Structure 1
Amino acid sequence: MSAYTYGTSALKIEKTEPRKKVKRGTAKKVSKKYVRSNMLGILVVTSLAFLLLARYAIITEKTTRLTKLRAEYETANSMVVQKEFDLEREVDLQKIEEIATTKLGMQRPEKNQMVYITMDNSDYTEKAESVDASRGGFFASVTGGLNNIVEYFR
């Protein structure tokens, strides 16, 4: 492109758009109250998150301690069961009788000192009178129950 206008010696004037002036200082200013409220909100949320994490840490610690205590309890319980088993296994009636007679000075009772008692077999139950279900319905059973209560308090 030439800088001259077609067919003349005059310079071609280029059309340019004027630059827009940037206005400085017209940006919205954020109020201090707004900044403070945002900072307070962030502080509250951070505090709540920290509190939540601390609570979860405490819960995890307590759960771990509870698991350890349960394991200790199971170990102690199994030791008690083992000791009871060993004790029952070691009980020898002849050894007990020997210790009782020699160290403690005990004697076996004589025949005239022994008293025998007879016990009838009392390990049985008596069947209660069966109630016939066809005697009445719900209302009859309720009135019968109320009558039983009244008879009890007489």
Structure 2
Amino acid sequence: MESGKNYIHGSAAPKIEYDVYEENKVLKAKKTQRSNNKAKLKMVFAIFLVFIAGSAVMLRYTMITQINYSIDSRNKEYARISNENAKLEIAIQQEMDLVKVKEIAESKLGMHKPDKYQIVYVNIPRENLSIVSEKYKEKSSGEEVLKSVLNKLEELVALLY
């Protein structure tokens, strides 16, 4: 059999076009009300989703703005500290002037250059003397180094057991 609009699929009985909702006004009004309620619910849900998405975007931009303000304030603080540091370096360089140091030493601390009889010259020998320990002299040979390494390993094994 054909599966057209006029027949029920799988039988020879004609399809009856009867819609209860078309003839009864009360049922028709309820059907339209239900479809309108579904549409209203979908619209409210869509508006709610748009509101949530908009809130998320606004929250993100407020966080970005807050971070930018924080970065800007830190940059200003860094510039202020950097300028203060430069000023302090200049002040230190001005205070380190030898003439000024000499003046402060003479006036405030009561220092003066030594007289000729106060100067004592010390002779320093030109050769460099260094004292080498006996243990270092012993370790200088190759066999001694190997023996000391073995001794250290034996001490380590003794500590482990």
The TM-score normalised by the length of structure 2 is 0.47
**Larger fraction in helix:** 2
The TM-score normalised by the length of structure 1 is 0.49
